[in-house]
Amino acid sequence: MYLFLNSIAEADQPDPNQEMGDPDKTPSEEDIEKAQECRGAAAEAFSSGNVDEAIKKYTEAIKFNGGSAAYFAKRGQAYLKLNKPNACIRDCSHALQINPDSAVAFKFRGRAHR
pLDDT, one tens digit per residue, over 50-88 is 999 999 999 999 999 999 999 999 999 999 999 999 999
Q: What percent of the chain has pLDDT over 70?
A: 85
pLDDT at 41 over 70: yes
Three-state DSSP at 104 gives helix
Superfamily classification of domain 26-113: Tetratricopeptide repeat domain (1.25.40.10)
Kindly list the domain boundaries of the chain, sorted by start residue.
26-113
* Cα–Cα distance for residue pair 102/17, rounded to 1 Å: 23
Nearest to 39 by CA among 19, 57, 51: 57
- Structure pTM? 0.84
Nearest to 78 by CA among 100, 45, 30: 45
